[in-house]
């Protein structure tokens, strides 16, 4: 077979699309991801947004990237380094050259590699030479010029024409990996159905890029990544914020309660509010509040009125919500606060991921103010943990903090659409009219949960508020012994949620030399690193936590079976310190990273190997 016609099969590929924030790289990456998912590949994505909303054109600060890892086997991370980088300008190359695998393919828009933009990106003369990429497969295509030529007869203005150049690049990558075009063309028809000229323009440019790649020798051979063998079912590509919103919809259905979300828009949590605001057809009541305090206070009011109350935020917003969250603890009302973590402190790194809100979620309120804390670990299982957060909140009459992070909130993966019959019923503890001798703070003996009386229910009038409660009537009490007892009850009530928490499971060796411990969105990278070391014969296991407070009941048993324990997290050691408080009988090594980026599999394996060699 000649090289011209050769198609090579690969198990997996990592592609990074990168350009100015106006170059449409997020859309380009999303379309490639959706096409690969529909083709049958397993995928994992990492959208990398610029930190500045309006960074100067052509600067590294304004670079927007989207990385996708797709394969014929299960994929758990968006990949460490890229096999293919699409760089729409010199700044995109500057920001991403270090993430290229040796010998990778680099596709650049040569029209943008002119002196003005080269200097603005911080290069002297030749970005390819300065990045030492001469031995890479560099494809310098005049993408802007070819886009203009393809659309010269459509009568579009210059700005509209150049908006389509990302589709030329996408067409080139589609040819390189033998992706079908029809899914993207269907997207054009749905997205721009009222603007047929835009449908035509994007379709023309997409095909032009595809055929250009087909004709140039530098893009031979082409590659194919076969569909993955995954569980049968109906799948869709989903990101963590969408999955979180839908998990709450499922919980509302299972509980028979209307869903209310009161939130203030904040990066990277805003899409949860947007997703639920669009679901009026499912009975959702949404309120875009003027600030974070109003967001949680209206949600507490909705919960008091008998709705499933949810509020979403990120770290700075969680700080503002802290007093009202304490009110929800005192009133013992069901409430879910979603914290999509980002880098801090203060405004910090709004578009970058981190895990540094754990201590704030656990202890960031005045007084002894316990709440349940759980954490999702993949974009898809945000659905399950949103559902579980709501189930715990409603059945145990307690606030729950659900932690996700920017990485899994914006990242996506194929999600097998579940059947609601596979999810448990949610039983609100609502007291019905006619209940005799009702006392609002009388408790279930086993769970210590109080009942929920909806305002306006005849005969169930009661007092509620932020002052300490009498242990039965709920009336204000300043009795010292009562305050001590109520403080103990509120803590014990949260601890007894452990009977809803599944046992901690270990992936890899069930006992051995090294136990890797993680929580939340680090799961994919930790699992991949541990799997690869386990396959190489190392006696390592992974214990990944989704339930933080309370911890699973079998933690001590799991930890005792390993010689060494290392806790890996995207902060300075918050979970490690929490484990030292809760299980001080063990020694904990730490591996911490606070760069606004997820771990790489390579750096994890290097750290684990070093620890095993000690």
Q: Using an 8 Å Cβ cutoff, are 241 and 266 in contact?
A: no
pLDDT of 218 reads 79
Q: In terms of domains, do 54 and 75 share one?
A: yes
* 432 assigned to some structural domain: no
* 72 assigned to some structural domain: yes
Q: In terms of domains, do 216 and 74 share one?
A: yes
Q: In terms of domains, do 60 and 157 share one?
A: yes
Q: Encoding tokens for residue 288?
A: 């875009």
Q: In terms of domains, do 248 and 220 share one?
A: no
Nearest alpha-carbon partner for 402 in 320, 353, 339, 354: 339
pLDDT along the chain (614 residues), means of 10: 69 96 94 95 94 84 95 95 97 96 95 95 95 94 96 91 96 96 96 94 97 89 90 90 98 97 97 98 97 98 97 98 98 98 95 97 97 98 98 98 97 94 95 92 97 93 92 95 98 98 97 97 98 97 98 98 98 98 98 97 98 92
- Of 205, 225, 245, the last residue of a domain is 225
pLDDT of 1 reads 35
**Residue 327 maps to which CATH number?**
3.40.50.970
**Residue 513 maps to which CATH number?**
3.40.50.920
At 590, phi and psi to the nearest 5?
-130, 145
Q: In terms of domains, do 112 and 260 share one?
A: no
* 230 assigned to some structural domain: no
Q: Encoding tokens for residue 453?
A: 């009386």
**Residue 163 maps to which CATH number?**
3.40.920.10
- Of 225, 245, 264, the last residue of a domain is 225
* 591 assigned to some structural domain: yes
Give the span between the Cα atoms of 538 and 605, in whole angstroms.
Answer: 11
Q: In terms of domains, do 249 and 196 share one?
A: no
- Of 225, 259, 293, the last residue of a domain is 225
Q: In terms of domains, do 77 and 200 share one?
A: yes
- In total, how many domains does the chain have? 3
Give the span between the Cα atoms of 89 and 326, in whole angstroms.
Answer: 49
Q: In terms of domains, do 220 and 257 share one?
A: no
Q: In terms of domains, do 207 and 293 share one?
A: no
pLDDT of 15 reads 98
pLDDT of 5 reads 60
Give the span between the Cα atoms of 534 and 35, in whole angstroms.
Answer: 33
* 431 assigned to some structural domain: no
Q: In terms of domains, do 320 and 361 share one?
A: yes
Q: In terms of domains, do 207 and 241 share one?
A: no
pLDDT of 52 reads 77
Beta strands in 485-561 (DSSP E): 506-508, 512-519, 540-545, 547-549
- Residue-number span of the structural domain to which 89 is assigned: 3-225
pLDDT of 210 reads 97
Please state whether the peptide bond connecting residue 312 to the residue before it is cis, i.e. omega within 30 degrees of 0.
no
Q: In terms of domains, do 532 and 412 share one?
A: no
């Amino acid at each position: 077979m000649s090289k011209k016609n050769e198609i090579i099969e690969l198990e997996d590929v990592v592609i990074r699309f990168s350009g100015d924030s106006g170059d449409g790289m997020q859309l380009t990456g999303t379309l490639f991801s959706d096409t690969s998912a529909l083709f049958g590949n397993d995928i994992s994505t990492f959208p990398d947004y610029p930190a500045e909303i309006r960074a100067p054109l052509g600067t590294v600060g304004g670079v927007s990237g989207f990385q996708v890892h797709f394969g014929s086997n299960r994929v758990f991370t968006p990949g460490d380094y890229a096999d293919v980088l699409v760089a729409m300008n010199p700044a995109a190359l500057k920001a991403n050259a270090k993430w290229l695998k040796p010998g990778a393919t680099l596709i650049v828009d040569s029209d943008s590699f002119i002196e003005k933009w080269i200097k603005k990106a911080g290069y002297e003369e030749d970005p390819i030479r300065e990045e030492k990429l001469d031995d890479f497969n560099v494809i310098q295509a005049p993408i802007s010029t070819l886009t203009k030529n393809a659309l010269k007869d459509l009568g579009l203005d210059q700005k509209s024409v150049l908006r389509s150049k990302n589709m030329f690049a996408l067409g080139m990558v589609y040819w390189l990996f033998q992706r079908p075009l029809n899914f993207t063309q269907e997207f054009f028809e749905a997205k721009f159905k009222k603007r047929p000229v835009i449908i035509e323009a994007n379709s023309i440019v997409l095909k032009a890029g595809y055929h250009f790649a087909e004709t140039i020798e530098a893009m031979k051979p082409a590659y194919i990544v076969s569909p993955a063998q995954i569980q049968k079912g109906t799948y869709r590509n989903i990101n963590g914020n969408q999955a979180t919103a839908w998990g709450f919809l499922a919980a509302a259905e299972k509980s028979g309660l209307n869903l209310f979300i009161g939130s203030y828009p904040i990066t990277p949590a805003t899409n949860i509010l947007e997703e639920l605001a669009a679901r009026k057809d499912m009975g959702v009541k949404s309120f875009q509040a003027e600030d974070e305090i109003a967001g949680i206070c209206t949600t507490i009011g909705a919960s008091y009125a008998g709705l499933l109350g949810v509020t979403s935020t990120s770290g700075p917003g969680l700080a503002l919500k802290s007093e009202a969250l304490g009110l929800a603890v005192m009133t013992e009302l069901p409430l879910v606060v979603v914290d999509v973590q980002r880098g801090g402190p203060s405004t910090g790194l709004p578009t970058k991921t981190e895990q540094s809100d754990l201590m704030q979620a656990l202890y960031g309120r005045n007084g002894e103010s316990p709440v349940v804390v759980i954490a999702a670990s993949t974009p898809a299982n945000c659905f399950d943990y949103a559902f579980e957060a709501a189930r715990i909140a409603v059945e145990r009459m307690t606030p729950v903090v659900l932690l996700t992070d920017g990485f899994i909130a914006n990242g996506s993966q194929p999600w097998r659409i579940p059947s609601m019959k596979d999810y448990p019923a949610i039983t609100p503890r609502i007291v019905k009219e006619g209940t005799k001798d009702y006392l609002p703070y009388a408790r279930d003996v086993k769970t210590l949960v109080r009942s929920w009386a909806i305002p306006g229910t005849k005969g169930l009038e009661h007092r509620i508020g932020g002052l300490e409660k009498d242990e039965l009537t709920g009336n204000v009490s300043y009795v010292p012994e009562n305050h001590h007892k109520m403080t103990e009850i509120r803590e014990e009530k949260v601890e007894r949620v452990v009977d809803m928490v599944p046992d901690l499971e270990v992936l890899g060796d069930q006992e051995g030399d090294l136990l890797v411990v993680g929580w939340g969105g680090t799961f994919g990278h930790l699992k991949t690193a541990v799997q690869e070391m386990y396959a190489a014969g190392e006696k390592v296991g992974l214990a990944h936590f989704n339930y933080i407070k309370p911890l699973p009941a079998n933690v001590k048993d799991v930890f005792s079976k390993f010689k060494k324990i290392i806790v890996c997290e995207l902060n300075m050691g918050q979970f490690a310190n929490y484990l030292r408080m809760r299980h001080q009988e063990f020694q904990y090594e730490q591996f911490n990273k606070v760069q606004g980026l997820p771990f790489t599999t390579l750096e994890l394996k290097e750290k684990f190997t070093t620890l095993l060699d000690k």
